[in-house]
Structure 1
Amino acid sequence: MFQFRRVFFVLGLGLLLTACSDSPKEDFIDRMDKEHQGDAPVENAAQNLSQSTEVTGEEVQYATVNGQEITGYLAKSDKGTALPGIIVIHEWWGLNDNIRMMTDKLAGEGYTALAVDLYKGKVAESPDSAGTFARSVNDDEAVDNLTQAYGFLMEKEGANNIGVIGWCFGGAWSLQTALTHPDKIDATVIYYGRLVTDTEQLKKLQMPVLGIFGEEDEGIPVEQVKEFESALNEVDVENNIHIYEGADHAFANPSGTRYNKQVAEDAWDKTIRFFEDNLK
């Protein structure tokens, strides 16, 4: 039965991505190229973030997309079994050690967290390669990947509620995952990702949305964030949208000059409280 649902969602969201994105994929990635010039994933964004419990982590095969096995990183809290699940979507660098540690930190708050891999094993070490990898992602395959991640957490890990979180490239896919599974995803967190402001699409959402953005982010302009917030309010989707004064794109990742420690830690606290309120 889940296989049938997965095919249905893949076909449906393939059309959705084409129809309702406010800016074309190429334009978004072009803007990310500009925002990330000079950056490199050299440090770990989670190194100063606390967690409540110890976790166990392992590489797992959670999906098969177009005949290729997909490996992600699964972290589990030591608090018990059948915990709420979180789909973790990497930023445009790929599934690197930074994302694995962020996944550990989330799991350490009492979750089963699965970091997906939309780049099929590739990890970027420069903005040029990151842009190349992001452009190579097939939308239908990414939807299939994420839908199988949902099924893995629900069916194999026994997750009783499931949320999704992503940063940058992953922030856009966090929203798209929610639009794919509007009656199944229980909480959505978007860190400075590409947005949808079409109320006809957004009114499908049945879960609360937390949005984290930077005032100085030229890739995701404040005007678009406010339009997104207004559209959510118009269709009565519960939301908390935060625009941090003085913060730029990628402020939650210290692998570049835009990292803002104080803002990143405040955003993390909001993220943990949001998941606590809506998944437990």
Structure 2
Amino acid sequence: MSTDPAPHNVEFPSAGATAHGYLALPPAGHGPGVIVIQEWWGLTDHIKDITDRLARDGFVALAPDLYGRTVAHDSAEALRMMNALPTAQGVEQLEGAVTYLLSREETRGDTAGAVGFCMGGGFVISLAAADERISAAVPFYGVNRDGVPDFSHLKAEILGHYGELDEGVPPSSLVPIEEAIREGGSGIVPTFHLYAGAGHAFFNDGRPEAYHAEAAELAWARTLDFLHAQLDPKA
């Protein structure tokens, strides 16, 4: 498998079909792997930018396209597309992406990280619960749509970022998730950060009405430190 240093679209087998994604490689050409999971809008330029940023910081970053190369243009369409993707189906697609990412010669290690936003934040939690190859999970303002997952096989350390003013994913929604993780028997204690003055989608700099620069910068710094510590401790 040849190394192409430029970010590019890729195809790979997943869930019995051909899946698509956006892959970005680090300057060194190799590094730990991280899956980047889209918001309900789809694989947008914002998600690609996050993937590029992770690559620049030393990670082999893959953003799988859960909507099959379709992007929503308004919230009604995004809601329809999200609801058409059951959690179990999305997790199956993401597991295929993890297999592909870990199979690439540029990827170091036998586990990967996962970072996701909004809908993707919920998928981060569900994927970490289902796939023991995920060792570092970073949900941004996301919880599972279908209730609390079974965390009995959880191997991932979890670092979450949530806005104190988020009405869609209020801080109180984290309580059952944290309790289930603690009771799952893994011994893992999640870390959930709350950001004062920030609401939903505070990390999305493409949405001026939601973006909170101070919260976004702090959450990103914490995310990079966490991923390096979990996936690349010698960095």
Are 2:154 and 1:205 equivalent residues in the alignment?
Answer: yes
Question: 1:25 aligns to what?
Answer: none
- Bigger Cα displacement from structure 2, 269-278 vs 214-223: 214-223
Distance 2:216 2:100 in 1: 30
> For the residues of structure 1 that align with 2:93 and 2:179, how far apart are their CA atoms?
30
Once the two structures are overlaid, the 10-residue window that deviates more, 151-160 or 242-251, is 151-160
1:245 aligns with 2:196: yes
CA-to-aligned-CA distance 1:252-274 (integer Å, 9 cap, x gap): 11314121111111100010000
Q: What's the secondary structure of 1:186's corresponding residue?
A: strand
- For structure 1, the residue ranges without an aligned partner over 5 or more in a row are 1-54
User: 2:7 aligns to what SS in structure 1?
Assistant: strand
Provide the rounded CA distance (Å) in 1 between the counterparts of 2:87 and 2:219.
29
The answer (yes or no) to whether the contact 1:197–1:227 under 8 Å persists in 2 is: no
- The code of the aligned residue for 1:167 comes to F
Query: Who is 1:51 aligned against?
Result: none
When residues 136 and 248 of structure 1 are mapped into structure 2, their CA distance, relative to the original with a 3 A threshold, is same
Name the structure with the higher helix share.
Answer: 1
> Is 2:165 the counterpart of 1:186?
no
Give every structure 1 segment of 4 or more consecutive aligned residues whose post-TM-superposition deviation is greater than 6 Å: none
**Alpha-carbon distance in structure 2 between the residues aligned to 1:243 and 1:77:** 30
Q: Percent identity?
A: 34
What are the residue-to-residue correspondences of 1:155-174 with 2, within 5 Å?
155-157=103-105, 158-160=107-109, 161-174=111-124
1:147-202 CA distance string (max 9 Å, x none): 11011011134431311110000001111111111x3211000111114885x822
Listed as ranges, the matches of 1:86-101 within 5 Å are 86-101=34-49
Between the two proteins, the alignment pairs up a number of residues equal to: 222
Q: Which residue of 2 aligns with 1:77?
A: 26
Q: Secondary structure at the match of 1:88?
A: strand
Q: Distance in 1 between matches of 2:50 and 2:76?
A: 24
With the length of structure 2 as denominator, give the TM-score of the two structures: 0.87
The offset of 1:233, in angstroms, is 4.0
Q: Are residues 233 and 143 of structure 1, via their aligned partners in 2, closer, same or farther at CA, if it must alter by over 3 Å?
A: closer
Question: Cα distance, 1:239 vs. partner?
Answer: 2.2
Match of 1:269 among 200, 210, 221: 221
Tell me, yes or no, if the aligned pair for 1:214 and 1:248 is still in contact at 8 Å.
yes
Q: Distance in 2 between matches of 1:136 and 1:268?
A: 30
Hey, what's the Cα distance between the residues in 1 that align with 2:16 and 2:74? 27
RCO greater where, 1 or 2, for CA within 8 Å and sep 6 or more? 1
* Native 8 Å contact 2:14 2:95 kept in 1: no
Contact 1:251 1:263 in 2 (8 A): yes
Counterpart residue type for residue 120 of structure 1? G
Q: Return the structure number with greater strand share.
A: 2
Shift in CA distance, 117/262, structure 1 to aligned 2, threshold 3 Å: same
Which is higher, the Rg of structure 1 or of structure 2?
A: 1
Larger mean CA deviation between 99-108 and 246-255 belongs to: 246-255
C-alpha displacement at 1:225, in angstroms?
1.6
Partner of 2:91: 143
- Matched residue SS, 1:86: strand
Q: Name stretches of at least 5 consecutive residues in structure 2 with no aligned partner.
A: none
Candidates 134, 155, 169, aligned match of 2:82: 134
Where does 1:4-19 land on structure 2 (aligned, <5 Å)?
Answer: none
Q: How does the TM-score come out when normalised to structure 1?
A: 0.74
Aligned partner of residue 229 in structure 1, secondary structure: helix
RMSD (CA atoms)? 2.0
Question: What's the CA shift for 1:230?
Answer: 4.1
Task: State the partner residue of 2:57.
Answer: 109
2:177 is matched with which residue? 228
CA 1:216–1:128 in structure 2 vs 1: closer, same or farther (change >3 Å)? same
